[in-house]
Amino acid sequence: MSRVAPEQEHAWRVGTAPGIFPFIGHGIALYRHPLTFLNSLPAHGDLVEIRLGPQRAWMVCHPELVHQVLMDSRTFDKGGPLYDRLRPLLGDGVGTCRHQAHRRQRRLLQPEFRAARVADHTALMAEEVEAVCREWRTGRQVDVSATMLALTTRVISRVLFSDSLDATTAAEIRSCLATIVRGLFVRTVVPVDALFRVPTPANRRYRRAVDRVHAIVDTAIAERRRGAPSGDRTDVLGTLLTAMADDGGAITAQEVHDQLITLLFAGAESTALCLASALDLLARHPDEEVLLHSEVDAVLAEGQLAGPDELPRLVRTRLVLTETLRHRPPGWLFTRVTTRETALAGHHLPAGATVLYSPYLLQHDPASFPDPDRFLPDRWLPGQAVGVPHGAMIPFAAGSRKCIGDAFAMREATMALAFVARNWRLRHLPGHVERLRPAATLGPRSLVMVCEPRGRRPLGTPHRVDSLEPRAAAAPRVHDSRTAGGDGVDGA
């Protein structure tokens, strides 16, 4: 039921979460048991005061209040512990910059993410999806988390830099991103700088990873500016360098660097986690897996990749991805900072106050999503999705800072999931136990599964496996409503 007080629709409840330690505050609980801690907060109110280290912060627990925050980016600006940690990594790119710089940056990058331009990347996505699955073999264990990150890193690297990054460098980026994501979370929930200046092994690994990603991007920019042979390149780096030359210094070399770092980080991590989570959840829900297999068998020939004609017909595939984004949003916790004195839920917030919101918390609220812990893609069928309260489903944020790459990510994930499901069934290892521990993002980071072929001979499989067991009978096809999908990772 709604948490809005029944006697007055907007008589919001404001509470304070019980304290733990006077200095660390709630950061320890948020770090050790983050999802349990989040789910405990709505019992204290719709706006709950917590402590992150010595800092006071307010967690917004009701979708209408979160919508209010996201739609007023001038008052509730990108800031707080998360962005204080992200800016040394990403700089002031489109995902982290302050409100006053955002519109110009968004306009600069928007052409690269319009529908027609995203469609242009379909063939590129298809090539990389096929490439990362080429080595899969019957009965072999596959590190699904690493494979999906390899896919998304390869795709976004080509979109940003064309062929400027070789395979070894792309693999190094993947390793660095994994280290960075682990380190970001603890720096967010325990924002005590002195702890992270101590030269511990973990702090040194984090610093080395950040420095190396910056060095790789700087090298790619320098080589392009020197006029290194580029072939037929139409990429984001070229667009940014052209804008820098044409705008008389309005776009600086540092901004080019920051935009590339931002898009690289956002374009690899979140989509990879979404795909790994989807494959994990399908293996746990065989009835949903059967429905997905029925659709991809009907839409795609054996070994075929989805193209412009097939993508609109992959309705069930999009339902699965949308429910995955609800169930396990990769971007699960975000911060904002108030730029002026304001009121939220009838509570006065001073300028500089830290405000947090969590897509995971909102998307697991039983008032918005009955049986929130169940994986139910049919929630997003046209007749069902209309019952979702406004602002309750926000995996890509909302308002002017809604993720600039949401359509790109959904196309890439749809193509990848459909191709894998058409050719392979993935099974958990015997005795597998789910250990879902959030870091800066949420999703499985060491998911190893076993490959079972679905067709007579999945792409890349030797001929000797032609006699494998036949595919199960297909379930009825899903009606093509073309309306599945979620609104909107707190992006740009």
Q: Residue 434: phi, psi to the nearest 5?
A: -70, 130
Angle between helices 253-284 and 144-161 (to 10 degrees): 150
Return all residues near 82 (Cβ < 8 A) that are at least 6 apart. Answer: 184, 188, 333, 334, 335, 440
Cα–Cα separations (whole angstroms), residue 133 to 32, 270, 428, 453: 35, 19, 17, 12
Q: Note whether 358 and 334 are within 8 A (CB).
A: yes
DSSP state of 50: E
pLDDT in tens, the chain (492 residues): 334 333 334 456 776 665 443 344 566 666 667 888 888 899 989 999 988 767 789 999 999 999 999 999 999 999 887 787 788 888 899 998 999 999 999 999 999 999 999 999 999 999 999 998 888 999 999 999 999 999 999 999 999 998 777 888 888 888 898 888 778 777 766 666 777 788 888 889 989 999 999 999 999 899 888 875 444 568 899 889 888 887 666 688 899 999 999 999 889 989 999 999 999 999 999 999 999 999 999 999 888 899 999 999 999 999 999 999 999 999 999 999 999 999 999 999 999 999 999 999 999 999 999 999 999 999 999 888 878 888 899 999 999 999 999 999 999 999 999 999 999 999 999 988 877 777 778 889 889 999 999 865 444 444 333 322 333 333 333 333 333 333 333 666
Compute the distance between CA of residue 223 and CA of residue 218 in angstroms, rounded to an integer.
Answer: 9
Q: Note whether 398 and 67 are within 8 A (CB).
A: yes
Q: Residue 98: phi, psi to the nearest 5?
A: -75, 165
Q: Name 450's bridge partners.
A: 141, 427
Cα–Cα separations (whole angstroms), residue 290 to 299, 316, 368, 425: 14, 11, 27, 10
The number of C-alpha atoms within 13 Å of 442 and in the hemisphere containing its C-beta is 22
